[in-house]
Each structure stands twice: as structure tokens, then as C-alpha cells.
Amino acid sequence: MFEPAVGSAVEAAIPLLLTGWIEYILENPDQFAVMLREHLQMVVIGVTAAIAVAVPAGIAATRHPTVGSAVMNMGAIAQTVPPLGVIALTFAFLGVGPRPAILALFLYGLLPILKNTVAGIQNVESAQVEAGRGMGMTSLQRLWRIELPLALPVIIAGIRTTIVLSVGIAYLGAFIGAGGLGQWIILGQQRYANEILLAGAIPGAILVILLDQAFGWLGARIGPTESSADDRTQTTVA
């Protein structure tokens, strides 16, 4: 009794999921392009600002233990404030538009990058750093030539996490006039029009996947250790 019903529900849902939203995008290409650009702009500015602050702060945290715990606490606090709260609290000062949203993205993006920068540097084998010291590298040279390159895959993993979070948070920008894909979510809800809602939501999901893949590829290229570990087994076998 149940099976045909479930089957028909799925059958009914599939065309809706697959076609309705695509058609809506194709009918409104200009608006879609503008929203996508606004969305990406918020993400790029917010994440870039988060990287610019969190990476140096993370490095500082590994140099001085007292600075370290202070910095980590601040990052944790920034993470616990809900993004919607940040937007609601700050748009009074920052005005309507993308600025409150970018601030929320920035604050929310700090912790993953901060945590991974600290973990990445702390996990560099001490023997590698000690080798640099024994070779006559200054502490700055050790940082640039040994610690950061070896920590980079981990730092990039943190940036990936931040990007994924940010694409989602940027949807909130629509509430304060910052534009972005969130506009179609609001519109879709107001009109009870699922295809509009999905036309806003699915491109965001695709965007997350693409950005995540791109950074994953970048991380693998930068860190030679993983790929060459495979080569090594080949060499030993040969």
C-alpha cells in the first residue's frame, strides 16, 4: 500500500527538483548573475579578511604561549556569537548593505583558520625545525622556509572550512540589503514557490562543492608529502 504512494511522491518531486529551479534561473539570468556576484563578493572579502587576521594571529600564538591562549579565546568567542546576531547588532552602526554581513562572515571565519594555523605549526616535527636551527637559519627563516610550508596543507584545510561556512552565512546578507542568493530564498518563501527557493539554494550548494574541491586540489598540490609517499612505495617495490 505504501510503496506506490512513496514512489509517486518521489516521482512527483523529481521533476520539481530537477527542472523548476533551472528554468527559473534561465528565465532570470541577469538577476541571477548579480546575486551570485554579490554572494561571492561577500564570501571573498569576508574570508580574505579572516585569513589576513587569523593566520598572523595564529603564528603569533605559536610564538608566545600567553598571546596564544588569549588569541584562541577571542577566536572561540567570535565563533559563539550567532552570525544573525552580529548582523542585527551591527547594522545600526554599519548601515544597510553588505558591511554587517561581511563583518559576520569575518568573525565567523576566524576560528577555523586560527585553530588550523596553530595546529599546523605546532605539528611540524620538531626535528625539522631543529635541523633548520642547526643549519644556521634565523627564527624568521625557520618560519618562512620550514614551519609555514609544512603547516600550509593544514592551514588550507582551515580556510576550506571557513569558505564552506561562509557561503552558507552569506545567505543572511539578503535580510539587510546586501543582496546575494538569499534574496531568492526570501522570495521563494514569500510566494511559497519552491522552484525560486531552490534556484537560490542549489547554486550555493554547488558553489560550496566547487570551492571546496578547488582548495582541496590546491592543498594537495602544495603539500608534496602525501603524493610522494605513494611514489616512495613504488620506488621501494621497484
Partner 1 sequence: MSHDTATETASNSIAFENVTKVYDDGTEAVTDVSFSVSSGETATLVGPSGCGKTTTMKMVNALVEPTTGTVSVDETPVSEYDPIELRRKVGYVIQDIGLFKHMTIEENVGIVPDIVGWSDDRIENRVTELLELVRLDDDVRTKYPQELSGGQQQRVGVARALAAEPEVMLMDEPFGALDPITREQLQNEFLDIQAGLDVTIVFVTHDIDEALKMGDKVAVLQDGELIQYDPPAELLRNPNNAFVESFLGEDRQLAQLQTVAVREVMGPANEAPTNDGGTPLSPDDTLRLAVQNWLRSETDVVPVVEDGTVVGSLSEVHIRSIFDGRSRAIEENHV
Neighbours of 60 (CB within 10 A): 15
Q: Which of residues 80-139 bind partner 1 (CB under 8 A)?
A: 127-128, 130-138
Write the interaction track for partner 1 spanning residues 205-224; mark x where CB under 8 A is met and - where it is not.
------------------xx
The residues near 87 (Cβ < 8 Å, ≥ 6 apart) are 100, 101, 103, 104, 172, 175, 176
CA neighbours closer than 13 Å in the CB half-sphere of residue 74: 15
Neighbours of 205 (CB within 10 A): 12
Which one, 43 or 146, has the nearer CB to partner 1?
146
Neighbours of 199 (CB within 10 A): 26
Q: Which of residues 139-158 bind partner 1 (CB under 8 A)?
A: 141, 145-146, 149-150
**In this structure, are residues 108 and 83 in contact, taking their beta carbons and an 8 Å threshold?**
yes
- Could you tell me the smallest distance in angstroms from the CB atom of residue 229 to partner 1? 6
Write the interaction track for partner 1 spanning residues 173-212; mark x where CB under 8 A is met and - where it is not.
----------------------------------------
Which one, 144 or 217, has the nearer CB to partner 1?
144
CA neighbours closer than 13 Å in the CB half-sphere of residue 107: 20
Q: Stretches 54-62, 98-106, 189-197, 226-234: which one binds partner 1 (CB under 8 A)?
A: 226-234
Residues near partner 1, by CB under 8 A: 127-128, 130-138, 141, 145-146, 149-150, 223-225, 228-229, 231-232, 235-236
